[in-house]
Amino acid sequence: MMGFAGMPLPIPLPVSCHNCTEGFVLATFEYRCPSCGCVHAVTPCHAFDPDNVVSVGVDY
């Protein structure tokens, strides 16, 4: 999961936080929920599918 975390997504994904359900737009491959700080990540091969966004955890 290293090396692409800060790269912008080809298309920003609207997602709901897996931790606090706050809605936000995932703009990079790794993105921190603005509400609770839970980090979410998506792999480049699944960058177009919100179902493949995973939460890594708060303060990861």
Distance from C-alpha of 2 to C-alpha of 22, rounded to nearest angstrom: 26
Joined together, the tokens standing for residue 58 give 């708060």
Q: In the set 4, 9, 16, 19, which binds Zn ion (CB under 5 A)?
A: 19
| Of 21, 25, 20, residue with least CA distance to 42 | 25
Nearer to Zn ion, 19 or 28 (CB): 19
With binding defined as CB under 5 A, does residue 33 bind Zn ion? yes
Number of amino acids touching Zn ion (CB under 5 A): 8
Catalog residues that contact Zn ion under the rule CB under 5 A: 17, 19-20, 22, 33, 35-36, 38
